[in-house]
Structure 1
Amino acid sequence: MKGCLFALGILTGLVILAVAFFRLNFYDTHVRYRLTVEVQDGDQVKIGSSVIEVLYNIEPTWSPSHFNSFPTPVGYAPTVDLGEKGMLFLTFSDATRTPAQRAEFNKEVFCLFDDIGCLPFAAYHKSGGGADFNQKNAALHELLRQSGPRDVPFIALPQLIRFVDINDERRYVKLSPDDLAVSFGPGVELKRVVLQLTHDPVTQLPEVWPQWLKEKGQMSAVLKGYQNN
């Protein structure tokens, strides 16, 4: 009987150690920030704002899954309603960049995450850490010590899009942050995008979105994160 209890105690201890080991090495770091998009529309400034939470799944370098470069956004894409001209969406997908733009991005911020994961590092001018587990972990802890609003460099923005027909999710165009007028018309330009770390609750589904977008569709991942579909 004592032998069985002893063996059970050893097994329990091993299980506790295993759980502690995985909790110390496999976990999400949560970074919550508000993104405010300001668009100049003639003599008016139109604003769209959204609080997003990004989950950085940091794993040790020996882990076979290596999800480190693909943080998970929770929330909804910041949206600027320009009335009859349409809506501007700042998506959760990587922007399309030329080799020269990629080089400019790398000069602006050293970060191995995707665009939405690199965004706060670019705003606060902090390194996103290297490929090593400890470097990324340290970079995230340094990021979370920052405060105050910061302008995001346009080169670091994720993909901007506009739906040509707001009632058809298949008809959309990708936009350059430096030339919104090509799609929205003269007098429309991106003024700035402001990021600020916050503890405010994640913004709810925007009321201005069309019904198809409020429901599940092929654009869900890039406009509604990956936990709001």
Structure 2
Amino acid sequence: MPQAASTGAQSRHRRTAAVALLLAMVFLLPGGRLIGLYNWSWNQKLELRVMTPDGAVSGSSVMRASYGFRPEWWGWGDRGRSIIGHSGEAAFVEVAPGRYLFAIMSQNDPKMAYETFIGPITTSREERIEGFDRLYRLRETRALPRELYPTLVTFRDINDPASVQKVDPDDLEASFGAGYRLNAINLEITDENRTSGRLNKILTWVNEYYDKRLDGDRYGYLYSKNRFANSLSAGSFNTENE
């Protein structure tokens, strides 16, 4: 009897493994659309252009963005079925010797590209499929609309992660002094490779902060003494622990 039970368990295990393999093959192949699985990935370059007392400077980074949604039969509401991701490092520019402006990364980055090049994301599944199909094929550069600007930050001391502070894109002088102005933030859908390795040369401490916040605390706290630093970690600047 125990042998029969064991044989039955093995048979069920084989069937489960076969089903899992079949589903994996379906999801990974283009035919996944036949069962309602949609996914798009593209490279997008974010460029910061700044006017300084010594002239215009710029800096950029290319990240990998993706968006998709699972089949309607997956069992969740439509929002729960969305799959949003990004990888790479944050765009930055040196605006003065040892002083940098960073655009921190956000899970909204793929949506930011869609809304810049296509328009507002609607609740219509069909419209989103058509829109992301267009975005995926685009190779274009546009000025990022002001309402889609990412959070901009700098560090009072580049070697001290807790010294991070938010930068007002409409008032760079408040952070850097007279003569500094944000000229534009440009976004490009590109064939360029994802940027890697540049940011860690500037933020030399970043690999030490994937498991804690920039103020040194392990978790985020509503009443942290340094609330802004406590809200950020290394993942806000680089998704890859190098």
Q: Which bin holds the TM-score, normalised by the shorter protein? A: 0.7 to 0.9
Paired residues, what number?
195
Contact 1:77 1:91 in 2 (8 A): yes
For 1:153 and 1:130, the matched residues in 2 are separated by 18
Percent of paired sites with the same residue: 25
- Is 1:135 the counterpart of 2:149? The answer is no
- Is 1:222 the counterpart of 2:236? The answer is yes
Match of 2:216 in 1: none
Alignment of 1:109-128 (within 5 A): 115-124=108-117, 126-128=118-120
For 1:120 and 1:203, the matched residues in 2 are separated by 17
Identify the structure with bigger relative contact order (alpha carbons < 8 Å, sequence gap 6+): 1
Equivalent residue letter for 2:88: G
Match of 2:47 in 1: 36
For 2:103 and 2:166, the matched residues in 1 are separated by 10
1:56 Cα deviation after fit: 1.2
Aligned equivalent of 2:204, options 191, 208, 211: 211
Contact 1:58 1:136 in 2 (8 A): no
Match of 1:3 in 2: none
1:87 Cα deviation after fit: 0.9
Richer in helix (by share): 2
Contact 1:50 1:77 in 2 (8 A): yes
Aligned equivalent of 2:64, options 53, 69, 78: 53
Contact 2:40 2:136 in 1 (8 A): no
RMSD of equivalent CA atoms: 2.8
Equivalent residue letter for 1:58: F
Q: Unmatched 5+ residue regions in structure 1?
A: 1-10, 94-113
Report the TM-score, using the length of structure 2 for normalisation.
Answer: 0.69
Match of 1:156 in 2: 148
1:72 Cα deviation after fit: 1.4
Match of 2:85 in 1: 72
For 2:167 and 2:72, the matched residues in 1 are separated by 36
Equivalent residue letter for 1:74: S
Q: Deviations over 1:169-189 (max 9, x none)?
A: 122111221111111111111
Q: Unmatched 5+ residue regions in structure 2?
A: 1-14, 214-232
Contact 1:115 1:156 in 2 (8 A): no
For 1:40 and 1:190, the matched residues in 2 are separated by 6
Match of 1:188 in 2: 180
SS of match in other structure, 1:186: coil
